[in-house]
Amino acid sequence: MKPKVLVTRKIYERPLQLLQEKAEVTMHLEPRAMTSEEIMAALPGKMGMLAMGSDRVSPSILEAGKDLKVVANNAVGFNNIDVEAGTRLKIAVTNTPDVLTDTTADLSFALILGVARRLMEADRFVRAGKWTGWKPDLMIGRDVHGKTLGIIGLGRIGSAVAKRGQGFNMRIVYTDIRRLHPAVEQQHQLQFMSLRDLLQIADFVTLHVPLTPETFHLVGAEQLQLMKKSAFLINASRGPVVDEKALVEALQGGTIAGAGLDVFEAEPKVSPELLTMDNVLIVPHVGSATDETREKMVQTAVNNILAVIRGEIPPNIVNPEIYQPSKS
Ligand code: DGY
């Protein structure tokens, strides 16, 4: 009998076919997310779950999966999964790193360019029939090239954003819990500094940290206050890394010049004040949303499940400790 796998959303068919050869796949086909109750009801008997980054995989969901061996998240971030509970229950948790790095970096840079050059606002202006001709002061934005890009979190995506910034002749400063070797910094022209210093000098502050208890509200009123009045905040990481209420206040008070946001504290809800601001570019958590990348993400999640079916450690395990022999 084939092992059974639950896929919580209708996703790319091609990589799924590989999984279907080895497992009996149940896919939620409705154009909405499964509720927690639906997931819990569907899990008994399933050895695998291919979850979306938007599914909340709580301890009670994991406990309902009595036969669960793997939760393969279709996202690089895994803050939606209670990994600690997974580890306790000896369930492998996996993610989809690497395949979305460049795509998410592209989107982050698009937010930088879009908000600095007022692209969405200009687009709305033309469509509204307000364009009456060239004017010396029409839609004046800010240069991106030659400015200082402050990267908070120089992991895979942060590094890919740094490369893009260098292509625009920007000075790259970064902060992270780990500092690169000075020789590597020199080779790649990256300057390490404290968060405080970075916030004070960057023209664009872009966030690329995972959501953890340590990064929750990493940027709040105090940090926004340190930024230049002419600076922009870019967030394509996780919404709760920024205190959205404090951001609204900073934008209302002119503390910073604008923001480019892909993620929000209570998705899909967006603070209503942000929706009325022309200096805020808003997109609906689409960092990895390209045809090529979304297919690769499913492929990666499938590979992780297939590895568990074969009795191997999945390549993108985030809780490898479940494979350690228990000390007793
Ligand atoms: C990720 O993979 O973490 C992206 O944010 C998509 O959810």
Active site residue 208: no
Task: Point out the catalytic residue in the list 238, 244, 265, 294.
Answer: 238
Residue pLDDT tens, the chain, 328 long: 999 999 999 999 899 999 999 999 999 999 999 999 999 999 999 999 999 999 999 999 999 999 999 999 999 999 999 999 999 999 999 999 999 999 999 999 999 999 999 999 999 999 999 999 999 999 999 999 999 999 999 999 999 999 999 999 999 999 999 999 999 999 999 999 999 999 999 999 999 999 999 999 999 999 999 999 999 999 999 999 999 999 999 999 999 999 999 999 999 999 999 999 999 999 999 999 999 999 999 999 999 999 999 999 999 999 999 999 876 5
Pick the closest to residue 34 from 59, 12, 11 (CA basis). Answer: 11
Six token digits for residue 160? 């890919």
Active site residue 285: yes
Rounded to the nearest angstrom, the distance between the alpha carbon of 76 and the centre of ligand 1 is 5
What's the whole-model pTM score?
0.96
Question: Could you tell me the distance, in angstroms and rounded to a whole number, from the CA of residue 156 to the centre of ligand 1?
Answer: 13
Q: Is 145 a catalytic site residue?
A: no
CA distance 78 to 107: 20
Calculate the alpha carbon distances from 276 to 121, 252, 272, 297 in Å. 11, 11, 7, 34
Query: What would you report as the CA-atom Rg of the chain, rounded to the nearest whole angstrom?
Result: 22
By most ligand atoms within 8 Å of CB, the mutation choice from 76, 96, 157 for ligand 1 is 76
Quote the tokens at residue 285. 């958590």
The token pair that represents 192 in the structure block: 């390490």
CA of 128 to the centre of ligand 1 (A): 33
Span from the CA of 44 to the centroid of ligand 1 (angstroms): 27
The single-letter code of the amino acid at 326 is S
Q: Are 262 and 286 in contact (CB under 8 A)?
A: yes
Decide whether any atom of ligand 1 lies within 6 Å of the 53 Cβ. yes
Q: Which two tokens stand for residue 224?
A: 């926004």
